[in-house]
Chain A
Amino acid sequence: MPLVTRRTFLIAAAALAPAAGTAARQAGGSISHEQFMQLSRWLVGNHQLDARTGAVYLDALLAVPDNGPRLRRFMGAAAIAAEPADIALQATIVEWWYTGVYTVRGERRVATHTGALMWAASGTVAPGSCASAFGAWSRPPRTV
């Protein structure tokens, strides 16, 4: 289960909502960057999330007109991910954070390679980065 519960997420989201009232996005029926990061943390669990990557993802999501109101609805008291389209959108957000790859206007792009959550979640580091001391790969993984 996510480490941030749905209840604590809703409390945090409610607290953030007034503070973000001046955001142009919010005025347009969407959510602020801070709210998106909060939503993301609730969806992916106990990971450090990069704010700039979050901004890239939010911009990409808002390029689809339906996404703004849907994200806004996630911040309210309505049931989270009650509809198939809501579930799909939340899955998209999770997938983007884990793979570092997102889609905007039909084009897949890399937001981050080293910051993709799947590496840390897999117990390793992104290929192309020095992982450890020489020979560490011969030792058991941390799960053993």
Chain B
Amino acid sequence: MTVTDHSKAELESEGIALGAHTEDSRAYRYAAFGVDNHEIPTGREEEWRFASLREIYPLLQATETTVSEDVVAFDVDEVEGITVGSLGADEAPRNTLLVPEDRIAAAAAELTANALHLKAPKNTVVEQPLRVEITGKDGSTASHAAIVLETEESARATYILNHTGTALFGENVEMVVGDNSEMTVISLQDWDDDAIHVATHVAHLGRDAKLKHIVVSLGGRAVRVNSTSKFNAPGSEIEQIGLYFADDKQHLEHRLFVDHAAPKCTSDVTYKGALQGKGARSVWVGDVLIRKEAEGTDTYELNRNLVLTEGARADSVPNLEIETGEIEGAGHAAATGRFDDEQLFYLRSRGIPEIEARRLVVRGFFQELIQKIDVPEIREHLTDSIEDELRRSMN
């Protein structure tokens, strides 16, 4: 077993807990259906202490929703092999994976009559990504959505959720990753500057399944994506990739929980963010739980932040709970840094002007992640978006 290279005492101070789980364990967080069963948070709660509560307050308060093309419009690609349907609140697999841990998720589960259901049936391998365009048109009316993504046994599919425009939007996404299937999900938060978006993602993986979960947050006033991935059977793999770029007054929060509840599964999480401008804020909280039965687990999570200007703040909290010693490996790393003066000096000593040198460093910082995204159009879009972000601050 390898738990980075620290002693146990140091591990605990860094948020690595060893031994049987306690009431503080991420596994025991309160969860229930019904908006009324959840309090409006005060900001003192562990799961809300970094949140942009003022911005998302209208969503926390909402006890009704407006589902309308005039508020948030959905446009779903047709892709051969993928079935498009809808699921009522009581129709499985909807609401069987996601049990709400907060009011916004509870509202999306309870108030939306129909969930969008996309499914790759058994043995269906679909290379072409299916794109869902989610376009916000009204930032003052609370709107919710539920989405169920599925790959049945031995199927393969890629789903893209592209969020643009402006909205006050609560969204639940459930991912049913069947035995021996492969699912890629890309959630792009490309909102206008004033959008508020709180999303809850929950994935369950069957045996020998693979999930690649990619979250990209570039736009929006406040975006919070809370994702949980649970291994229910052995032999499965999760790769989680996150990329964010926070500007002036933007608050981008990514929380994730990887629940190793079955043996011989692998999880690999890499989130990277850049921040620029006054009040730019990012939060990353990565919880990994290796349950007693999860022998042979191999897990690694990494968060890196690059603070480009004064006045920006990145919080980064990795937590690892380990209930068995019989694992392959468990590690985490989190670092937040400014530009490396030695890198800049090296590039400038080759004639490269400072602005261009900074660009090269930031592009390079994200390049490693962009290379891992298998959809060329998304790769190009991200490369262009990062150029746009850099143009804003560095000219």
**A and B from one assembly?**
no
Please report A residues at the B interface, Cβ cutoff 8 Å: none
